[in-house]
Chains A and B, each alone.
Chain A
Amino acid sequence: NAGVTQTPKFQVLKTGQSMTLQCAQDMNHNSMYWYRQDPGMGLRLIYYSASEGTTDKGEVPNGYNVSRLNKREFSLRLESAAPSQTSVYFCATDGYGQVVSSTDTQYFGPGTRLTVL
């Protein structure tokens, strides 16, 4: 039972390159979230998915796309990376609205540290 996993852990990109951050959960949760964390600004919601097949924008969606591939997997794509996207990215999941044992909190992945040069 791994909880929430993210790959890669670290990545360095050049401006204009593209990449996809992967997230997977084995908690049978419907809801998944992507956040970015920047110094002094706290975590901010990029996109979220309330169920398989649905995605919605959060606070800072510009420059990102997401795919909810199935119930377990939620990926975040940077089509043309910019230095402003240098950040630590966290995926999270919760059982909001479900009758599961772990509904009370969000569970976070270990994070991906991305640097865009």
Chain B
Amino acid sequence: KNEVEQSPQNLTAQEGEFITINCSYSVGISALHWLQQHPGGGIVSLFMLSSGKKKHGRLIATINIQEKHSSLHITASHPRDSAVYICAASLSSGSARQLTFGSGTQLTVLP
């Protein structure tokens, strides 16, 4: 069973700060997902990556396969970035994409 660990559990930042959330996993995976859960509860997928780096707006996700580690960076953070950020490791079983989730990082960005 894959274990997925996130750090920190809680993070408070001032608007404009550069933010990093870390994720490590214990066994080989086919992909690593980053998701955002809004205060209202809805979950949206931000990235799926299996190597290197992906960027979308102010969000950057990186993965190091050898070290079994991924990071999510937010540049020029804004209060609207306040949410829970969840990483999930994907083991493609052949019939479906089974995800093992971390417990999430609660991010609060203060104005």
CB distance from A71 to the nearest CB of B (A): 14
Q: Is the interface of A mostly helix, strand, loop or mixed?
A: strand
Give B37-49 as 1s and 0s: 1 = Cβ < 8 Å from A's Cβ atoms: 0000111110010
Give the CA-CA distance A51 to B48 in the complex, in Å. 22
Judging by beta carbons under 8 Å apart, are B96 and A48 in contact? yes
Q: Is the interface of B mostly helix, strand, loop or mixed?
A: strand
Judging by beta carbons under 8 Å apart, are B98 and A58 in contact? yes
Judging by beta carbons under 8 Å apart, are B96 and A105 in contact? no
Give the residue of B41, B99, B104 whose beta carbon is less than 8 angstroms from that of A106: B99
Give the residue of B33, B41, B42, B102 whose beta carbon is less than 8 angstroms from that of A105: B33
Judging by beta carbons under 8 Å apart, are A110 and B101 in contact? no
Judging by beta carbons under 8 Å apart, are A106 and B95 in contact? no
Give B16-53 as 1s and 0s: 1 = Cβ < 8 Å from A's Cβ atoms: 00000000000000000100000001111100100000
Q: Does A96 contact B (CB under 8 A)?
A: yes
Judging by beta carbons under 8 Å apart, are B97 and A108 in contact? no
Give A29-53 as 1s and 0s: 1 = Cβ < 8 Å from B's Cβ atoms: 0010100000011111100111100
List chain A positions with a Cβ less than 8 A from chain B.
Answer: 31, 33, 40-45, 48-51, 54, 56, 58, 88, 90, 92, 94, 96-97, 104-108, 110-111, 113
